[in-house]
Amino acid sequence: MILSWISSKEVIGRILRNTKGVQAEYMDDILEWIPEALLKMKTVYSVESRSYKIELLNHQAKLPCRIEGLLCVSHHGQRLNYYDKGRIEHHPESAGFSVFKSTLPIYTSSGDIADENVAASRFPRDFVEVLKSECHPDAWYKVNGKFLESSIKCGELTVWVQEIPKDEEGNPLVPDNEYYGEAIYRYCRMMLIEAGYEDKIISHRDAVAMWTDAAGKAISDTCFPTPDQVESSIHRHLDNFFPDGSEFNNSW
């Protein structure tokens, strides 16, 4: 079971140490491959809300590379309406909108919690910003592939997105588990070869086999239930077979 998360900085450092001479252009790719590895291992995680500033040029702007969900788009503190298949969805004038941060604390590279004020509670933090309910009457946006299109021709928009939590240096957070660290490392080594990096130590076939083996171990280790989960499962199955109040269930 995954109980804590740490920065992936150590995994990234190991990749760079063991692939001497890897070009700096691969660094952005590595930061993309780490969330991919988490998704391929069907990792259960919490996402955090974050805002990005993007510049519209001729009604179009590129969205941030790795996001899990798009919450809303604002312009000068006002929400834009959503353009859905030829129809503009207007927001209710009386409805405000609060954007919340992640339930996970942000960790520094040394493993400490960056924001001490949040350390006492891992529940949703104070809202980042309350957006004004009123919008431009005809201002809208829609998503077209990797691009955001808007009725506004030029200007700065704020996109509120959900993404995998990161540390203060922008490195994705990963489960604090040795098997997970190994699996993510093996996935990135495999992807480096597929991206054109000439690995002089391992072949692509070996890299795939190592990733598959490490991922299986990580999934098995983190899926191992806690005593409370086992007890809960037993009682749940007993409740299905024996009605509440039966002698067998009460004696258990």
pLDDT > 90? residue 182 = yes
123/27: higher pLDDT: 27
Q: What stretches of 115-226 show up as alpha helix (H) in DSSP?
A: 178-194, 204-222
pLDDT score at 134:
53
pLDDT > 60? residue 95 = no
* Domain stop point among 111, 128, 163: 163
pLDDT-derived band at 69, boundaries 50, 70, 90: confident
Looking at the fold, whether 38 and 88 belong to one and the same domain comes out as no
pLDDT > 70? residue 251 = no
pLDDT > 50? residue 148 = yes
Does residue 27 belong to any structural domain of this protein?
Answer: yes
**HSE-up (13 A, CA, CB side) for residue 228:** 1
pLDDT score at 49:
74
Does residue 249 belong to any structural domain of this protein?
Answer: no
Looking at the fold, whether 121 and 204 belong to one and the same domain comes out as no
Looking at the fold, whether 52 and 157 belong to one and the same domain comes out as yes
Looking at the fold, whether 53 and 117 belong to one and the same domain comes out as yes
Lay out the sheet containing 155-163: strands in order across: 48-56, 155-163, 69-75, 78-79
Structurally, the chain folds into a number of domains equal to 2
Lowest mean pLDDT among 11-25, 99-113, 226-240: 99-113
Domain extent at residue 185: 5-45+169-229
Q: Which token pair is 238?
A: 């007993």
Predicted structure pTM score: 0.62
Looking at the fold, whether 146 and 198 belong to one and the same domain comes out as no
Does residue 246 belong to any structural domain of this protein?
Answer: no
Q: Average the pLDDT over 153-169 and give the result.
A: 85
pLDDT score at 96:
47
